[in-house]
Copies of this chain bind each other. A is one copy, B any other.
């Protein structure tokens, strides 16, 4: 088992102040490792970085077509969104189309990540609902599939037919038997795998070119993400901005505790990344650095510089430090 390696450094003046270590794997369409840092066999919980895998049964089952789901809705089903109006308006319509209400969600309420939405809610004296949960798009996808398979209302329980479908798809994509699961922030089970397994799943999404239901579902989901990057996260967020910088060359998804997945269709490669300490400052810099290395984003693109070579400014606007990739990474 190899130790996590330094991937990201924070400098203040002439002093190295903090370091983020991590593990990462780049995998090809055969499922083989092309390049790895740290321990590729490290067992991780992908958290939201595997939402496109969790959305596979929605599409493969025919539920998405039966309900006439759009690319926007498929992007939302893979999203950890900001709960800006562009997200919650669409989720509200989706719920209405399903004939369901906020009470049918099982994700729990969450204050919007979007500052305008959050402040508007404070000014209006309103409390957040489940629709504002960053996972409400994924849960709308869950509710859609659940309606299609006529499952019971507790769709987040690990032995619910819907979660069994997701586990099966997850194990097939990672080509590993999951050693178990943790309960995610939105209460759904989140299945464990090795970092290699997660990169393998991403590579399958990247290289899916068959006419079988899975390949078609993978293409639809990755294309939906790249077509609507603002729906997958939100304005100012790393996923959204790095997808814009990649200009159709990458579908990118972050997860809690500093997880990242990147699907690179042109290169037929998949990337999985975990920063050991769980800090998004670290994972955003590290994934941007890997994307530069793989040639899918330009190092001098302002959307890339913002993550890979971020300036730290203090409360007077003075630049006091910067974040950048560690030497040798």
Interface, chain A (partner B; CB < 8 A): 4, 10, 12-15, 17-21, 43-45, 106-110, 119, 122-123, 133, 180-187, 190, 192, 257-258, 276-279, 282, 314-318, 320-321
Contact between B122 and A320, CB atoms less than 8 A apart: no
Cα–Cα, bound, A216→B122 (Å): 48
Point out the residue from B182, B258, B276, B318 that lies within 8 Å of A187, measured CB to CB.
Answer: B318
- Least CB distance, A153 to chain B, in whole angstroms: 14
> A256: nearest residue on chain B (CB-CB)?
B17
Contact between A320 and B183, CB atoms less than 8 A apart: yes
Contact between A13 and B314, CB atoms less than 8 A apart: no
Contact between A20 and B106, CB atoms less than 8 A apart: no
Chain B residues contacting A258 (CB-CB under 8 Å) are 18
Q: Report the copy number of this chain in the oligomer.
A: 2
Contact between A276 and B320, CB atoms less than 8 A apart: no
Interface of chain A, main secondary structure: loop
- Least CB distance, A313 to chain B, in whole angstroms: 10
A17, A190, A279 — most chain B CB neighbours (10 Å): A17
With A12-B182, A277-B279 given, name 10 new contacts (CB 8 A). Answer: A10-B278, A15-B43, A17-B278, A18-B276, A18-B277, A21-B21, A107-B316, A182-B321, A183-B318, A185-B315
Chain B residues contacting A190 (CB-CB under 8 Å) are 12
Chain B residues contacting A184 (CB-CB under 8 Å) are 314, 320
A180, A315, A318 — most chain B CB neighbours (10 Å): A315
